[in-house]
Amino acid sequence: MGFRLAENEKDRYLSELLQSYHVFAPVAKAGKGAFSDTDVVGYGEIESFGDIVLDRKSHFSPKEVFYPVRETLFQFLKDEVLETTIDEKPLVVLVRPCDLNGVRRLDTIFLKNGQEVDTYYERRRKKVKFLMVECTEGFDTCFCVSMGSNVATDYDGALRFEEGSLLLDIKDPALATEILRDRPEADFQVEYIRENKVKVDAPPLEAVTKDLFDHDLWTEYTSRCIACGRCNTSCITCSCFTMQDVQVNDEKNLGERRRVWASCHIDGYSDMAGGHNFRKKHGEKMRFKTMHKVNDYHRRFGEHMCVGCGRCDDVCPEYISFSKCINKLNQIAKEVAQ
Amino acid sequence: MSINRKTVTKNAYRITKTRDKTCLRIRVPGGHLETRFFPLIQSIADDYGNGTVHLTTRQGFEVPDIDFDKMQDINAKIRPLIESLGLDMAIGENGYPAAGTRNISACIGNRVCPFANDDTTRVADNLEKAVYPHDFHFKIAVTGCPNDCIKAHMQDFGIICVTEPQYDPSRCITCEACSDNCRKKVTGALSVRDFNIERDHEKCIGCGECILKCPTGAWTRGDKKLYRMVIMGRTGKKNPRIAMPFLKWADEETITQVIQNTYRFVDNYIDRSLAKEHIGYIVDRMGFQVFKKEVLEGVVPNKEAQIAENITWGGYWYNQNLEFK
């Protein structure tokens, strides 16, 4: 159902939401940019719609709101285990369509990949409702249209910030707070971006062969990539994690198990027993990531993992463009096919 | 020709090797100049000099080959340049009011450089307003990080912009990019313990590298702008040496007051039989403790600040018998 809120009513809607939800949105964190005297746009709790930053893309994706960078799963003492609990208050997270499509990838990995459901993900994820912010302009590095993730309809509510008013499309009645009741419906159809500056063609699945695996394309990235992992930590769909067991007493039987994000670009990711590592070169790491994002995942789940948010391009200190890499891969696939 | 050499020098004109010719020294505090001044500098070089300028090590311009009798005309013309210093005094058409305290130079700072912990030009501009004009020979430079590209360690006062890194363990993925880098490139102030990073505050030099290396934003900058002050570095014909740390984690007010107090210290103890005496030699003669006591008088350092108990400078003495074959 569509509604229109006047400028002076917007924050009343938000304050009503805040009675039942933590509300997260992209905000500017003053002085917290890596460079001095800069801010960084990342996800944080808001108290006013005025806190939201939409004219810049968030540096980090919204995934950290419900998939923490670091999370203690349980604590242990000898044979006893105490699972951690989480804040019971549910969350509303403001996202763009690309990110909402990214969340579906995360859901797939954590909830639909094999027989077991990741309960630690699930317990947080089921507390989240998404308010999708209409996005019709995008940014220079976006390629959501190419990845088919410019459109998302599985939102709980959608927003359009207009001059002087806020338009809402509420699907989940729980998000229709007091101020929306008995209000005349407004006509609001969410619009989507239909063309990005960057266009990407992922190679057809069957075109990705062993020839591409061994191609020289990847050696370029061996010299360019510095394996910092920013592409992974900013990505909405990177879901890899590792475990950390911390023992705090001398007997080493009191402690906790945490899981933390892992990055396929950072050394140690592919370490195996006996000190083996099958992806030592940075180009090989780039290949692994690329193949997962635009090939392997698709083979298993029927859609590409990458949603084209372009954050990896934005944050790479070496100016490596992932969209360009995909296009190169496609070009080479064509050449190899001939 | 009759000129008062001291008046001329104080007015930022040099005695040169060519009789009757002088050379104008233009200050550019913080080494950053609006290009709107370029035509003015060019016109002085073209109309009064020989059509060239020299870029000095202190980041000023020297305009050579000027007739002494043109000083008055030039002083009237350069008024906008002097006004742009933003000094708390009336600027007339008499040119620079002093030249003893040298141009405060700065690396490019955070207007461009990702390593810089502050806007060095802003800091230099503020210091310029606090100490200039003054006839005492003070050399001050501001550098954005301990890489020290401006060579703050060669100054009487070198200001090194630092940041006190803040660690948020909830964002740390233990990639060890910060600790590896700190060990290899800096002081090894970071270590890993139970998958957390521990920072040794005594080893940390506040360079901010850990913040730049962190892929998750677990390391961020402290709220306060802080500075390391290194003092009494010098070149010269007796005992060249690098400056040594006097203050760590000091704020801008503290470093400014210390420099201002040093003018009083110099006034108390300078050897007036010399045309000029570098501060470092005065400190050598009086002893560091006397210097320290006098420059900290009335100063209430910020709570993070640490002050050197003692300083032993190094360098070498030209008059020592170094062995050469």
Q: Where along chain B do its domains lie?
A: 5-83, 105-161+226-307, 166-220
β strands within B274-319, DSSP E: 306-307
Grouping H, G, I as helix, E, B as strand and the rest as coil, residue B227 is: strand
Question: Per the structure block, which two tokens stand in for B39?
Answer: 């035509």
CATH number of B105-161+226-307: 3.30.413.10
Q: Which of A70, A235, A247, A266 to mutate to test the interface with B (most CBs of B within 10 A)?
A: A70
> Which chain A residue's Cα is nearest to B170?
A70
Same domain, A101 and A215: no
- What is the domain count for chain A? 2
**What are the chain B neighbours of A42 within 8 Å (beta carbons)?**
217
Q: Does domain B5-83 have CATH number 3.30.565.10?
A: no
Angle (CA) A154-A155-A161 rounded to 5° is 140
Asked whether B240 and B315 are in contact (CB, 8 A), the reply is yes
Q: Are A233 and B216 a contacting pair at CB < 8 A?
A: yes
Report yes or no: B43 at the A interface, CB cutoff 8 Å.
no
Q: Are A37 and B110 a contacting pair at CB < 8 A?
A: yes
Angle (CA) B19-B25-B28 rounded to 5° is 170
Mean pLDDT score of chain A: 96
Kindly state whether residue A191 falls inside one of the protein's structural domains. Answer: no
List residues bridging with A192 in a β-sheet.
A135
Is pTM beyond 0.90? Reply is yes
Kindly state whether residue A280 falls inside one of the protein's structural domains. Answer: yes
**What are the chain B neighbours of A263 within 8 Å (beta carbons)?**
173, 175, 215
Which regions in chain B score pLDDT beneath 70? none
Angle (CA) A177-A180-A186 rounded to 5° is 140
Q: Which residue among B110, B194, B220 sits closest to A246, beta carbon to beta carbon?
A: B194
> Which chain B residue's Cα is nearest to A65?
B171
Tally of residues, chain B: 325
Q: Which residue among A36, A260, A268 sits closest to B116, beta carbon to beta carbon?
A: A36
Q: Are A248 and B194 a contacting pair at CB < 8 A?
A: yes
Q: Residue A176, Cβ neighbours under 10 Å: how many? A: 18
Same domain, A223 and A126: no
CATH number of B166-220: 3.30.70.20
Q: Which of A32, A35, A36 to mutate to test the interface with B (most CBs of B within 10 A)?
A: A36
> Which distant-in-sequence residues (6+ apart) come within 8 Å of B131 by Cβ?
B101, B104, B138, B140, B259, B260, B263
The minimum CA-CA distance between A80 and chain B, rounded to whole Å, is 21
**What are the chain A neighbours of B252 within 8 Å (beta carbons)?**
none
**What are the chain A neighbours of B114 within 8 Å (beta carbons)?**
34-35
The number of helices, as runs of H, and strands, as runs of E, in chain A is 11, 11
Q: Which residue among A59, A228, A260 sits closest to B177, beta carbon to beta carbon?
A: A228
The minimum CA-CA distance between B111 and chain A, rounded to whole Å, is 9
Q: Are B118 and A36 a contacting pair at CB < 8 A?
A: yes
**What are the chain B neighbours of A37 within 8 Å (beta carbons)?**
110, 118-119
Asked whether A29 and A42 are in contact (CB, 8 A), the reply is yes
Asked whether B46 and B70 are in contact (CB, 8 A), the reply is no
**What are the chain B neighbours of A72 within 8 Å (beta carbons)?**
none
End-to-end CA, chain A: 52
- The C-alpha atoms of residue B150 and residue B124 are separated, in whole angstroms, by 12
- Phi and psi angles of residue A277, each rounded to the nearest 5 degrees, phi first: -150, 120
The minimum CA-CA distance between B61 and chain A, rounded to whole Å, is 29
The reply to whether B166-220 shares the fold of B5-83 is yes
> Which distant-in-sequence residues (6+ apart) come within 8 Å of B34 by Cβ?
B84
Kindly state whether residue A292 falls inside one of the protein's structural domains. Answer: yes
Domain that holds residue A52: 2-72+86-180
**What are the chain B neighbours of A70 within 8 Å (beta carbons)?**
169-173
Asked whether B280 and B234 are in contact (CB, 8 A), the reply is yes
Q: Could you say which DSSP state residue B232 is in?
A: -
> Which chain B residue's Cα is nearest to A228?
B215
Q: Which residue has the tokens 């800069």?
A: A38
ipTM, two decimals? 0.95
The minimum CA-CA distance between B304 and chain A, rounded to whole Å, is 19
End-to-end CA, chain B: 49
Q: Which residue among A32, A260, A266 sits closest to B217, beta carbon to beta carbon?
A: A32
Size of interface A-B (CB pairs under 8 A): 76
**What are the chain A neighbours of B218 within 8 Å (beta carbons)?**
69
Which regions in chain A score pLDDT beneath 50? none
Q: Which of A177, A152, A126, A159 is nearest to A25 (CA)?
A: A159
Q: Are A37 and B173 a contacting pair at CB < 8 A?
A: no
Please report the pLDDT score of residue A182 as a whole number.
87
Report yes or no: A31 at the B interface, CB cutoff 8 Å.
yes
DSSP annotation string for A41-56: EEEEE-SSGGGB--SS
Q: Are B217 and A263 a contacting pair at CB < 8 A?
A: no
